């Protein structure tokens, strides 16, 4: 019976995505390429709204088990979708993001006021992860593929030691697969948009947070290693270059791979996905203390990032010089 429910939900998600495409096309909700973009054609934006639809369908068919989380997800997805359609001031987005994260923390039962400083740090870090996830949404397939790489280990762990409602993870996976069908291709039918990247990040942070609370183990942060290393070290690099962090750029490792090295988008996305799967299942299966494994992984991938930039960043500098000459 449950299998038929999943199939029915998958059909609804496909239909919902197709209906959204019609609406987005009519309302001109599109992404126009610019000098900082890694794509060259006008494409529909906001296809990642399917992740919110998936969460709503899960609640309808399997019960509203995480009400505070769902309120936070809905709020953060709506403000992100509005931002996709019409620019929203940074302060407004941040207020909703911090509020939504507060609701998630309430759902996770971690609002211990005697540990207010730890909660505050987690609050800042989680909002940072959400926005980093959005920054990394720059090429075809990467958001969907990487999200699967985070989700599959969670499903595996949950099958062995339940810590979260399994249908929630499975329906989220169905939503990601539907999105990948339209995005994980050479010529993407749609982009995730802020609503997609931020929405799925919020969902995955909640799932990983549930695992951390259940196991009392913060080292499961390694489920975000590849994105985390690329984002944090790219930010450090931009600070060294005295760049404005709020401005769009093409300095992430995946962007240099796709733009300067001309590696196909889906190949780059697959590389990021496979690396994260390797890291996550290594964490789960290897007989090693988690904190030691985490330190080794961070050291290896941090070094790999630095080596990659040392070898190939000059290509990006040449690109910037060519753009100045054109202008």
- What are the pLDDT digits (tens) for 235-246? 999 998 888 877
Helix (H) or strand (E) run with residue 36 in it = none
Please list, in sequence order, all residues whose beta carbon lies within 8 angstroms of the beta carbon of residue 93, skipping any fewer than 6 positions away.
79, 80, 83
- The pLDDT tens digits for 33-70 are 654 555 556 778 889 999 999 999 999 999 999 999 99
Counting as low any pLDDT under 70, the low residues of the chain are: 1, 32-41, 325-327
pLDDT at 206: 97
CA 74, 80, 84, 88 torsion-angle sign: positive
Assigned token pair, 196: 């997609």
pLDDT at 1: 66
| Separation of first and last alpha carbons in the chain | 62
DSSP letter at 48 equals G
Please list, in sequence order, all residues whose beta carbon lies within 8 angstroms of the beta carbon of residue 99, skipping any fewer than 6 positions away.
72, 75
């Amino acid at each position: 019976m449950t299998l038929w429910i999943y199939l029915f939900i998958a059909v609804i998600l496909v239909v919902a995505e197709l209906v959204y495409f019609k609406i987005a096309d009519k309302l001109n909700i599109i992404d126009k390429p610019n000098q900082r973009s890694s794509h060259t054609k006008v494409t529909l934006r906001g296809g990642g709204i399917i992740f919110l639809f998936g969460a709503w369908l899960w609640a309808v068919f399997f019960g509203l088990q995480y009400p505070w989380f769902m309120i936070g997800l809905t709020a953060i997805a709506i403000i992100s979708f509005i931002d996709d359609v019409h620019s929203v001031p940074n302060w407004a987005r941040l207020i909703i993001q911090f509020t939504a994260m507060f609701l998630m923390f309430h759902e996770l039962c971690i609002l211990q006021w005697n540990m207010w400083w730890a909660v505050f740090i987690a609050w800042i870090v989680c909002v940072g992860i959400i926005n980093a996830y959005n920054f990394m949404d720059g090429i075809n397939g990467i958001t969907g593929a990487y999200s699967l790489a985070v989700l599959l280990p969670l499903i595996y762990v949950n099958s062995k030691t339940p810590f979260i409602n399994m249908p929630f993870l499975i329906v989220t996976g169905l939503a990601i697969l539907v999105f990948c069908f339209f995005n994980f291709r050479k010529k993407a039918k749609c982009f995730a948009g802020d609503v997609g990247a931020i929405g799925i990040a919020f969902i995955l942070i909640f799932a990983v947070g549930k695992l951390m609370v259940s196991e009392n183990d913060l080292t499961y942060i390694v489920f975000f290693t590849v994105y985390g290393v690329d984002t944090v070290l790219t930010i450090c690099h931009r600070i060294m270059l005295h760049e404005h962090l709020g401005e769009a750029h093409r300095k992430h490792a995946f962007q240099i791979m796709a733009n300067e090295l001309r590696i196909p988008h889906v190949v780059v996305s697959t590389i990021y996905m496979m690396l994260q799967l390797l890291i996550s299942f290594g964490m789960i299966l290897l007989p090693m203390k988690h904190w030691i494994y985490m330190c080794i992984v961070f050291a290896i991938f941090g070094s790999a990032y630095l080596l990659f930039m040392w070898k190939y960043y000059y290509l990006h500098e040449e690109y910037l010089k060519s753009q100045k000459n054109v202008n």
